[in-house]
Chains A and B, each alone.
Chain A
Amino acid sequence: MAVRKILSVGNALIAIVAGALVLLGYLLPNLLGGLRQYLIQLAVTLTAFAVLLGIVNLASVHWKRATAPKAGASNVYSAVLLLSLVLTVLLVGFSGPTGFWSVWLVSTFQIPVETSLVAVLAIVLLFAAARLLSRRLHWASLLFIGAAVLVLLGMAPLPFFGEIPFLSNVRQWLSSIPALAGARGLLLGVALGTVATGLRILMGVDRPYGD
């Protein structure tokens, strides 16, 4: 129990000191810039090992699912994933990360599959916009849909009408004034939220790395 307590305090101390040094390194680059760089390099090395853990985790989740007694489509999908993982590791190991087979794998499987998901996404978004009107019909939703339609109409020439200068100008104005102002407001909130979260980590209040 005592060892666990010491480890917990030790972890918190390492996180707080490393976090504070990296933060101060940004503000005082001449004084602590080198140390900040070194600490970040250490973290990058650790991240590389975490990728291996991530692959093991992915494989173990799908192994569990593929070998589950309840037979269904998920078992097959997981088995296909595991098979693909093994084949990818073998092929990339054999031909190197930029070799012919590695590029072939990406261009033949990954890019077409991801492109088809993007196509599905377009339909899903259209459906979501229509559902928004039935679910939350108030001025903000109408403004959202109206602005999206105007921007879409102003982006490309319309069939039979060609490019309508008025719509292009409206789109330009919407993107550069109200949308930009709103985006900056949102980003300001996000930045303050990030500062608050970072400070809680530095104070040792939030410990995602364990108590």
Chain B
Amino acid sequence: MNQVLEFVEIILGLLLLVLALALTIFFWMRESNRGPGVARRLRDIPAFNRFRRAVGQSVESGKRLHISLGRGGVMDTPGGATLEGLTILDCCTRAASVSDCPPVATSGESVTAVLSQDTLRNGYASLGAERRYTPTNGRMSGFTPLSYAAGVLPDIHDEQVSASIFAGHFGSEIGLLIEAGERANGLTVAGSDSLPAQAVLYASAQEPLIGEELYAGGAYLGAGKAHIASLFMQDILRWVVIGLILLGAILKLVGVWP
């Protein structure tokens, strides 16, 4: 029986992955066929609207954007949130490339720090402004959760930050970081994959991103049509998973599922 269940689990996992891939490709092609002037209307997420405005204002006022990528790496479960944070960093780098104060990215994991430097460099290179790239703008701030928080606090205080976005894996220490952003009189937008961090950021951030809203960052900040396609895929797959959960509950109720 266990072998059968294991087999069903593998088949279901594979089917869901294939379905997710097929849906992403389908929506990506559909989005690519839309004309460049035809904008896709997405559900309103106030956090990203305010952050887009804050990016523009930071360029005008000569202040800096701070992107905190958290203390998650890309090799474990928080990898998704970290990679989304890197996408947001890429969008910010391109948007603020003309600013006198380039964005600064902080992270609490060394691989993420290296990737943040790569993202900054690629962002400038793609705009032909490689000279503006400074390696120390992608910073490793600390190796433990609280040392990371302690390392980021002076960056927020001293770097004339006008807006901070916290996108990645955090714990409850995100409360200290958001408080520092508030004290710097800047906008604070925060999202995380961790539930304790989501509880803290809901209470403390000016614009919290709850649940999957964090993963919509690329689509809302103009990272490309594949990101919009991902959103549609997630919407459909959510209903598929809900259907599977209900089916499993019914099968268990009638005694078919052990």
Contacts and interface: CB of A to CB of B under 8 A. Distances in A.
Q: Decide whether A and B assemble into one complex.
A: yes
Interface of A: 23, 26-28, 40, 43-44, 46-47, 50-55, 57-58, 60-61, 64-65, 72, 74, 77, 110, 113-114, 117-118, 120-121, 124-125, 127-129, 131-132, 135, 144, 183, 185-190, 192-203, 205-211
Given A52-B110, A193-B80, A194-B193, 20 more contacts: A27-B10, A27-B13, A40-B75, A47-B111, A51-B110, A57-B110, A58-B139, A117-B146, A117-B173, A121-B172, A127-B179, A183-B195, A190-B80, A192-B238, A196-B234, A197-B80, A199-B233, A208-B83, A210-B118, A210-B122
A27 B241 CA distance: 18
Contacts of A23: 17
Contacts of A186: 195, 198, 210-211
B60 interface: no
Given A50-B110, A57-B139, A117-B150, A195 B20 contact: yes
Given A117-B150, A187-B195, A208 B144 contact: no
A60 B136 CA distance: 7
User: Secondary structure at chain B's binding surface: helix, strand, loop or mixed?
Assistant: helix
Contact of A54 (B110, B158, B231): B110
B113 interface: yes
Interface in B46-61: none
A53 B114 contact: yes
Interface string B182-223: 000000000001010010101110100011101110100001
A85 to B, nearest CB: 11
Contacts of B246: none
A28 B10 contact: yes
B126 to A, nearest CB: 7
A189 B154 contact: no
Contacts, number: 206
* A65, A125, A193: most-surrounded residue (chain B CB, <10 A): A193
A54 B80 contact: no
Interface of B: 10, 13-14, 17, 20-21, 24-25, 28, 73-75, 77, 79-81, 83-84, 86-87, 90, 109-111, 113-115, 117-119, 121-122, 125-126, 135-136, 138-144, 146-147, 149-151, 154, 157-158, 172-173, 175-176, 178-179, 193, 195, 198, 200, 202-204, 206, 210-212, 214-216, 218, 223-224, 226-227, 230-231, 233-234, 237-238, 241
User: Secondary structure at chain A's binding surface: helix, strand, loop or mixed?
Assistant: helix
Contact of B206 (A64, A110, A135, A192): A135
Contacts of B142: 58
A121 B173 contact: yes
Contacts of A129: 203
A200 B227 contact: yes
